[in-house]
Structure 1
Amino acid sequence: MVTSIPLDTAKELVEAAEERAEEIENPMVITVANDEGNLVAQHRMDDAWLASVSISRNKAYTSAALDTPTHELAEASQPGNSLYGLQTTDEGRIVVFGGGYPLQRDGDVVGAIGVSGGAVEQDRDVAEAGLERWETLVEEGSA
């Protein structure tokens, strides 16, 4: 069984996320990473912010590396909480705000999606479109 995300599957997730970004009229950068957080596919929509290239990649990396959605790290990384300063670790690659989600199959993280280019709520919305496509592919047995 494939333990990571093949390029063809990554392209499907990017396409689903891009469709949602177009619906909300917000250009985004969409990244899909493998289970180690390494790049599988990345797409920058026309007029998406340049800074979002690295931010989306780091959101995918964070989700894969820590097996968690990035928005779930926000509160714990605030001053006085148990993960305070987390975003300053791992050569600055850890992102502690929303837009990154791990992709799971049979309870294992096999990749991640990261989206950047809008408000955090928009990034999450667009990433969730890719996540929903992933879950459909897993249910169908084609992921």
Structure 2
Amino acid sequence: MGITLDQAETAIKAAKVKALEINTLMNIAVVDAGANLVAFVRMDGAWLGSADISQKKARTARYFDMPTGELGKLSQPGGPLFNIEHANGGLITFPGGLPIKNSAGEVIGAIGVSGSSVENDHTVAQAGVDAIS
């Protein structure tokens, strides 16, 4: 079964709390196992351009069932996945997107966060994952 709306909202709420804790404004997207948008929030004042990035990070994490930052390591020049970011209508291959798994270890969706440094994006995304793990 895929992620529920309640789970997605729980992830977003925890991510928002973490964003405020580290004093940043974020766009946070959660997709289901089919990479369809389930929930999205743009915190007041968060960058408009990061709305699309957060959703692409979530989809990228689900498409490949791995953190977007890990995919980025594989897609560097000379790497085995060089230029993969041009696939699927555009992927994001830097940190901030994470798969979400259920208690059995099955991927049920993904979260994508954008609006700050990639380190902060990853930290906020991880808070969302941790809230429903």
TM-score (normalizing by structure 2): 0.97
How much is the aligned-residue C-alpha RMSD, in angstroms? 0.7
1:60-102 CA-partner distances (Å, limit 9, x unpaired): 001111111101011210111100001011111x111000000
Structure 2 CA distance for aligned equivalents of residues 89 and 56 of structure 1:
17
What is the aligned counterpart of 1:130 among 125, 128, 133?
128
Q: Which of residues 8, 12, 19 is equivalent to 2:10? A: 12
Aligned position for 1:140: none
Secondary structure at 2:54 match in 1: helix
3-state SS, counterpart of residue 73 of structure 2: coil
Given residue 76 of structure 2, which amino acid in structure 1 is its aligned partner? Q
1:31 deviates by 0.6
5+ residue gaps in structure 2?
none
Q: Which has the higher contact order (CA 8 A, sep 6+)?
A: 2
Shift of 1:37: 1.0
- 1:17-96 equivalences under 5 Å are 17-92=15-90, 94-96=91-93
- Residue from 101, 104, 118 that aligns with 1:104: 101
Cα offsets for 1:24-71 (capped at 9, x unmatched): 110000111000111000000001000111100001001111111101
Q: Distance in 2 between matches of 1:110 and 1:132?
A: 14
TM-score of the pair, normalised by structure 1? 0.90
